[in-house]
Structure formats: C-alpha cells, structure tokens
Amino acid sequence: MTSSTDISKAGEPLVLSIDAMGGDRGPAAVVAGLAAFAKRNKNVRFLVHGPKAELDTLVAKHRHLGSRVETRDAEGVVSMHDKPSHVMRNGQNTSMWSALDAVRNKEAAVTVSCGNTGALMLLAMVRLRKLPGVNRPAIAVLWPSRNPQGFNVMLDVGADIRADAQDLLKYALMGTSYARNGLSLERPRVGLLNVGTEEHKGHAELKQAHELIAAHAEENNFEFVGFAEGGDLSGDRCDVIVTDGFTGNIALKTGEGTASLIGQFMREAFAYSPLSRVAALLALTSLKRLQARIDPRRKNGGVFLGLNGTVVKSHGAADATGIAAAAELAYDLAKSGFGDRLAARIAQAAEASESTAEERSDPAKEQQKDGTNP
Amino acid sequence: MTSSTDISKAGEPLVLSIDAMGGDRGPAAVVAGLAAFAKRNKNVRFLVHGPKAELDTLVAKHRHLGSRVETRDAEGVVSMHDKPSHVMRNGQNTSMWSALDAVRNKEAAVTVSCGNTGALMLLAMVRLRKLPGVNRPAIAVLWPSRNPQGFNVMLDVGADIRADAQDLLKYALMGTSYARNGLSLERPRVGLLNVGTEEHKGHAELKQAHELIAAHAEENNFEFVGFAEGGDLSGDRCDVIVTDGFTGNIALKTGEGTASLIGQFMREAFAYSPLSRVAALLALTSLKRLQARIDPRRKNGGVFLGLNGTVVKSHGAADATGIAAAAELAYDLAKSGFGDRLAARIAQAAEASESTAEERSDPAKEQQKDGTNP
C-alpha cells in the first residue's frame, strides 16, 4: 500500500493526512486553513479526506493548493454526537477513518482532525494500535506558561478518565519526549499534578506514581520535581505536567474558561465609555500583542500519544487560523521524526524495566523499588 | 462562657473572631484590614487572637479600632508547615484554637483566619463539630462568572480529597444555601463537575451522585442542570458547582494561575515600548476597571461549610485589602443568619430522607431511588 508519497524519502515534501469533516465550521474552514499554512510552508503536501466533489470545489478556490492536495473520497461524516463505539463498528466510510488509514498505510506522517474527540481516539486505537508497553494512550496539549519556551506540556487532558501509576509513568515518558521534540527542551522537568506539593498529600495511587516516576527519571533523562499544583500549569517550576484524563480535562477547560472570561471583561472595560474607546484605539498595538499571546488558536491541537502514528486533534470550533496552527504542529512533529523517537523511548523504558527485573532474584525487592504495592 | 458580646442580642454589633497569626504578612496586615473594614461598617466588633502585647500595639495605631477590638492572648502560632494532626494534639495555646473557641462559646458569630488550611479545617471539625447529617465538611469559594450575580459558588475546593455520592448531595445542599444567603439567589442552579455534559460520561460514582442530586432537587428548592464542565465554572449555566476536593482544588488553582499569567502578559504588553506606555496611561481607567473585576482580593475567602459555626479562610498571602474582604464576607454571612439556615436545611433534608425511608416498605426500592448501589 506504500504510495509515491512515501514519507520516508529524504528531501520529498512531508505529507499530512487531513480529515476535512466533523469540525463545527465545515470543510471550507479546513481547506482555507491548509491554504494559509501551505503559503507559509512550501515543503508540505496534503491528503484531504471527505466528499470528493465538495472538496475539489473548495481546493480549486486556492490556486497554490491545487498541485499539493490529493482528495480522497469518503462520504460518511462522524458527528460530534456519534457514540465512539458506533463509529468504530460502522464508520468505515467516514473521512475520519480514511484519514487515519493513510497514516496506518504509511502514506502520510500525521493525521489532523477537528472531529469528535472520543470517536477519533477510539478509531485511532483500533486503526493505528497502541505502542507496545502503553496501556492507556493520552492526549497532550501545550499550555501557555511563564517558562522561556512559552508553553508547558500537560497530559492526559481526556483520552481516559482513569490512570494508574504505570500509566502516569508512561505519560511522563511520552510528555518528556513531546517536550524534547515540540519545545526543544533537552532535559524536561516533570511534575505530577496533586492538591499540594508535600509528599504526604493526595490519593494513595498518586504516592505510588510519585515513587515510580522518581525511580525512572535518571535513566530517561528528565528531572522529576515531584508533586505540582494547578498553579504550576502556567508556572515555571515544570515543563511537563502529568495527570489522569479526568483531572486534566477539567483543568484544561477551567483554564480556557478563565481566559475567555477575562477576555470578555477586557473588551467590556475598553467599551465602557467614549473615552475608554479612544484609549482602546491608542492601546490597540499593545492589546493585539496581548491577544496574540493568549490566543488559543495559536497553539491549536491536542496530540494523541502512545499510538503507532501521530494524531493531532484540532479544536472542534477551529477556524482557518486554528486549522493552520494544527497543520503546523503536525508538520513540526513529523519533521522531527517525533513518532519514531517516542516509540523508541517507550521501547527502551520497557526493556530497561525487563532487564532490571531479570537481574534481580527477589521479585519483592523489585516491586519495592518500583513503588508498586505487593 | 457567654460574654457581654453575645451575638444573639438584636441591635447589638455583630462580633467576628479573628485569628491574627499564621498569614504570610503577619498580624500587622490583619489589623490593618480590620481597621479598613471597620471604617466602612460601624456595626461590627472584633475578638482578635494572638500575642496580646503585640496586638495591642498594632490596634493602638488605628484610633477608631480601639473601642471595637478585644484582644485575647494566645502565644502559640500555627505555621503553614505544621501538620494538622500535630496542631490538633498540641495547639491549645494557639491563636487559631482560641479564635475557633470564641465561636464554639457563642461569643462570636464567625471565625476568620488566614492560617494553614488543613490545620484550620481539622481544628474546626474538632472544636465546632460537624453538623448532624454531614460526613465531610467542604470549603466553598466564589468564582468570577458570566452570571448576573457576578460569581458562582464552587465546592469542595480542598477540605477532603474524596467525596462519595452522599457527600456530593450534601455539597449541593450546602452550596445552594450559601448561594441563597451569599448571592441572594432564590432557586440556584446546580451543576456536577465532570468531563462532559452527556449522562454516560465520567466515573460510576458521579453517575450515582447525578441520580441522587436530581432526586433531591425539587424538595430542596434548587434546579439541577446535570453534569457541568470546567468551562462552566466561569459560565452562566449554573450558579453552584459541586465536586470533590481534589478536582475542586486543582480547578481553583488552575483558574487562579491562568488569571495571574494573563495579568502578567497584560503588564508586559503595555510596558513593551514608550508608545505602549503612553497608551497604558490613557487606558488607565479601563485597565483599573478590568483589574477590579478580576482582583482575587475582592472576594477573598473560602467558607467552611457543614460545621456548627461558620469559618472564613482567607488566602494565606492576603494583604489588608484581602483581610477586609474576608471580614466583610464573614459579616455578611453572620448578618443573614447563614449558619442557622444551613443547619436547618441539612436537618430538614436528613428528616425528609428518613421519613421517606420509613414510608417505604421495600428497602431495595429506596436504594434504587437514591441511586446508591446495594
């Protein structure tokens, strides 16, 4: 099934597989976003999945896209309300399925979709399969922070509402791999989200995860700062924050909601009186500079980690600017060979665990070292 | 032990019991905050607990405070690092203990402290005792929102990292009672925090709590909107958001951290160039208007709910403005007779449950109705 767009050939453009359907603004916004990104980057091609006739019309509107897009016909659309299990059983004809299969078949390096998150994750697990050694894949986001790199990595933000100590260790490995490739940090600092930084606080599972992650920090070249709090998500104590998908999802949406409320308050403050409207005009450059730093579209995209292949989940409400940002993120990850590096990291950690286990004669000791309860 | 400042006498000033020690800025900030609040409100008196000589010197600096403050000598101070269990066993001589005992002895209506949260909660449980029917007390905060009242109530933000379905029901009852008395809402709308609004999402315990809260909404005069998401904390879908103390604490600190980061970005945007600094001067009124709306000191204070007596926990880092806001919140709650109303509401709900249970002959049915597992 390997086509002429095989991603392994050096010098050739990278290929991204794009699910054009399922976002709130429809395929026109998706194609416009790809057109914007394609103008900035000449070394990228797209496989775009959806109803072919409709897509071809949209693509034809952007002259520079024509030669760089191949449309793939898929009549079915996964809606935001479809149950993931239903899509898994009946979704063979959907644009989402087709977009994932292009990565499965090595025709493209990364899939981008703004569709239903739950369905996308379940389909990705079925079509791409989990990496050996990963029990629960995770969704990672970049979170604006006080760190020099401008962002921290948080995961899981909602792939699975549960995570045990072993899962949280894998999240630490995957998150640091993402921080190395996505944020160019050599030795990322990892924090484990909890209600306080003292070691006696929090659930028993978190204390287990604390021991387990600490024990694997050195050999995996990251620094473990221990427990982190909600405020550290936007702070500079850590670069990667690890938590279960329940807590992570609520933190993500709480942060987005807070930023959006402050944005509204700001608009109201500057629209309050004729004088304040004049002031807003004069402050326009500063306000735009601020807007650019907190614009959630600028780093649009949760990345699915722990699968044989990378998937970027764009926000469902993304406009062309948001889609372009998601495509850029997908491109950057593909270019750095992130998927292969992550897989190697997980494989190495699994091997290290196994060989450590083999070296030891007393399994009880091994369990103690790993911080797991007998 | 009932003194001349007995709170039950009508027309007499309300008395607040103030722990002057344990905050990051020391007793000077606390006394300055009380002085500021006392200027705004003539009908309040204070019992202030701490090292008497030091407090008397501080109080003497504010002439209008003199006749309205009674200092109570307590040499011991609970530090932010003291373990709650240690304070419970050895803290009899501390200002925190003394401040709680004034409410226990009915000398004051509400306790205010900016000390160690964990120690304050444990001491409050021991000295004031839990209300009958309450298993886990909770800490509630007011969260800036899009609702007309400007704030939503969220609880628990960290009294206990665990909460079962029955606890979450009690949180709904206590939270709506707080919203009625603190935000003047007749029929508050309650949401249960989860990772999605669909009924099939989330942990099994949350589905149980969903059924239980829905079953008690009508008789307790609140509207249950079902599951809420992180974004609803600052939104207008609900007035009261209920969650366990682990999730609530992380959401609270995430929201605070996000607001603080945006504030920093805003200052940087307006300090960027000489021109933007001029613009900032012209926009000063608008910026101050914005600042006032997002200033966390304006509504400073978590309220401990579910005890025989109300405790307001001020932020540890609170300055005089923050302390004045916490004192004002304590005063408002005392004035509305909030403590008694909340106790009555919990007692009534407990009675209603019991009488419903007695009316039924089949206990299995009752369990089904309450959504609890057999």
Query: Of A136-150, A229-243, A255-269, B238-252, where does mean pLDDT reach its minimum?
Result: A255-269
Classify burial at A106, counting beta carbons within 10 Å of its beta carbon; exposed 0-12, middle 13-18, buried 19 or more. Answer: middle
CA separation (Å) from B203 to A108, B200, B242?
Answer: 36, 9, 15
Query: Of A197-211, B4-18, B220-234, where does mean pLDDT reach its minimum?
Result: B4-18
- Indicate the residue of B195, B234, B252 with minimum beta-carbon distance to A161: B195
Mean pLDDT of B254-259: 90
Mean pLDDT of A130-156: 94
Between A and B, how many residue pairs show a Cβ–Cβ distance under 8 A?
173
Domain B135-299+341-374 classification at class level? alpha beta
Q: CB neighbours of B175 closer than 8 A, spacing ≥ 6?
A: B138, B140, B153, B154, B155, B188, B190, B240, B241, B242, B305
Query: In chain A, which residues have their Cβ closer than 8 Å to the Cβ of B256?
Result: 230-231
Confidence band of B43 (pLDDT split at 50, 70, 90): very high
Give the model's pLDDT for residue A294. Answer: 67
Looking from the CA of A276 toward its CB, the CA atoms found within 13 Å total: 15
CA separation for the pair A304, B2 (Å, rounded): 63
Query: In chain A, which residues have their Cβ closer than 8 Å to the Cβ of B247?
Result: 246-247, 250
Query: Of A193-207, B191-205, B351-365, where does mean pLDDT reach its minimum?
Result: B351-365
Query: Of A80-84, A225-229, B30-34, where does mean pLDDT reach its minimum?
Result: A80-84
Check A257 against B233: CB less than 8 A apart: yes
Q: What pairs with residue A112 in β-bridges?
A: A18, A312
Q: A4 pLDDT exceeds 50?
A: no
Check B233 against A255: CB less than 8 A apart: no
Confidence band of B355 (pLDDT split at 50, 70, 90): low
Check A230 against B257: CB less than 8 A apart: yes
- Write phi, then psi, for B102 (nearest 5 degrees): -65, -35
- Indicate the residue of A158, A260, A290 with minimum beta-carbon distance to B266: A290
Q: What is the pLDDT of residues B78-135, one digit of tens each?
A: 998 999 999 999 999 999 999 999 999 999 999 999 999 999 999 999 999 999 999 9
CA neighbor of A45 nearest in space, from A80, A12, A86, A23: A12
Query: In chain B, which residues have their Cβ closer than 8 Å to the Cβ of A228?
Result: none
Query: In chain B, which residues have their Cβ closer than 8 Å to the Cβ of A250?
Result: 193, 195, 229-230, 243, 247, 250-251
In chain B, whose CA is at the least distance from the CA of A265? B290
Q: What is the pLDDT of residues A301-347, one digit of tens each?
A: 899 999 999 999 998 888 999 999 999 999 999 998 888 888 988 88
Domain extents in chain A = 1-129+307-336, 138-304
CA separation for the pair A19, A311 (Å, rounded): 11
Q: A150 pLDDT exceeds 60?
A: yes
Mean pLDDT of B35-46: 94
Give the model's pLDDT for residue A8. Answer: 43
Check B232 against A257: CB less than 8 A apart: yes
Q: A236 pLDDT exceeds 90?
A: yes
Mean pLDDT of A92-121: 96
Query: In chain B, which residues have their Cβ closer than 8 Å to the Cβ of A253?
Result: 229-231
B307 or B345: which carries more pLDDT confidence?
B307
Q: What pairs with residue B302 in β-bridges?
A: B313
Check B269 against A282: CB less than 8 A apart: no
- Indicate the residue of B193, B282, B285 with minimum beta-carbon distance to A282: B282
- Indicate the residue of A158, A254, A282 with minimum beta-carbon distance to B279: A282
- Indicate the residue of A146, A203, A231 with minimum beta-carbon distance to B253: A231
Q: CB neighbours of A79 closer than 8 A, spacing ≥ 6?
A: A22, A116
Check A233 against B254: CB less than 8 A apart: yes
Query: In chain A, which residues have their Cβ closer than 8 Å to the Cβ of B202?
Result: 161, 246
Check A276 against B286: CB less than 8 A apart: yes
Mutate to test the interface with B, among A82, A139, A154, A195 (most CBs of B within 10 A): A195
Q: Where are the alpha helices (DSSP H) in B159-244?
A: 165-182, 204-217
Query: In chain B, which residues have their Cβ closer than 8 Å to the Cβ of A264?
Result: 146
- Indicate the residue of A195, A255, A289 with minimum beta-carbon distance to B161: A195
In chain B, whose CA is at the least distance from the CA of A83? B200
Mutate to test the interface with B, among A143, A205, A250 (most CBs of B within 10 A): A250
Query: In chain B, which residues have their Cβ closer than 8 Å to the Cβ of A255?
Result: 230, 254-255, 257-258
In chain B, whose CA is at the least distance from the CA of A252? B230
Give the model's pLDDT for residue B15. Answer: 96
Q: B374 pLDDT exceeds 70?
A: no
A138-304 has the same fold as A1-129+307-336: yes
In chain B, whose CA is at the least distance from the CA of A282? B279
Give the model's pLDDT for residue A1. Answer: 37
In this structure, which topology does domain B1-129+307-336 adopt according to CATH?
Isopropylmalate Dehydrogenase (3.40.718)
Check A282 against B283: CB less than 8 A apart: yes
Mean pLDDT of A240-257: 95
Give the model's pLDDT for residue B316. Answer: 86
- Indicate the residue of B230, B266, B285 with minimum beta-carbon distance to A252: B230
User: What is chain B's mean pLDDT, rounded?
Assistant: 87
Q: For the sheet containing A310-313, what is the strand order?
A: A69-73, A44-50, A14-19, A110-113, A310-313, A302-305, A138-144, A151-155, A240-242, A189-193, A223-228
Mutate to test the interface with A, among B250, B265, B295 (most CBs of A within 10 A): B250
Q: B1 pLDDT exceeds 70?
A: no
Mean pLDDT of B320-349: 90
- SS3 at position B363: helix
Q: B302 pLDDT exceeds 50?
A: yes
Check B253 against A246: CB less than 8 A apart: no
Mean pLDDT of B289-312: 81
Q: Options 3.40.718.10, 3.40.50.720, 3.30.2130.10, 2.30.300.10; which CATH number does A138-304 get? A: 3.40.718.10
Secondary element (H or E) of residue B46: strand B44-50
Distance from CA of A190 to the nearest CA of B (A): 17
Check A258 against B260: CB less than 8 A apart: no
Mean pLDDT of A118-130: 95
Query: In chain A, which residues have their Cβ closer than 8 Å to the Cβ of B260?
Result: 231, 234
The Cα angle at residue A272 between residues A266 and A276, in degrees rounded to 5: 85
Q: What is the pLDDT of residues B145-172, one digit of tens each?
A: 999 998 999 999 999 999 999 999 999 9
Check B233 against A254: CB less than 8 A apart: yes
Mean pLDDT of A247-259: 93
Check A270 against B283: CB less than 8 A apart: yes
Query: In chain A, which residues have their Cβ closer than 8 Å to the Cβ of B315?
Result: none
User: What is chain A's mean pLDDT, rounded?
Assistant: 87
Distance from CA of A256 to the nearest CA of B (A): 7
Rg (CA), chain A: 22
Give the model's pLDDT for residue B7. Answer: 45
CA separation for the pair B301, A115 (Å, rounded): 41
Confidence band of A35 (pLDDT split at 50, 70, 90): very high
In chain B, whose CA is at the least distance from the CA of A245? B195
Distance from CA of A140 to the nearest CA of B (A): 16
Q: Contact at 8 Å (CB) between B67 and B46?
A: no
The Cα angle at residue B22 between residues A201 and B32, in degrees rounded to 5: 140
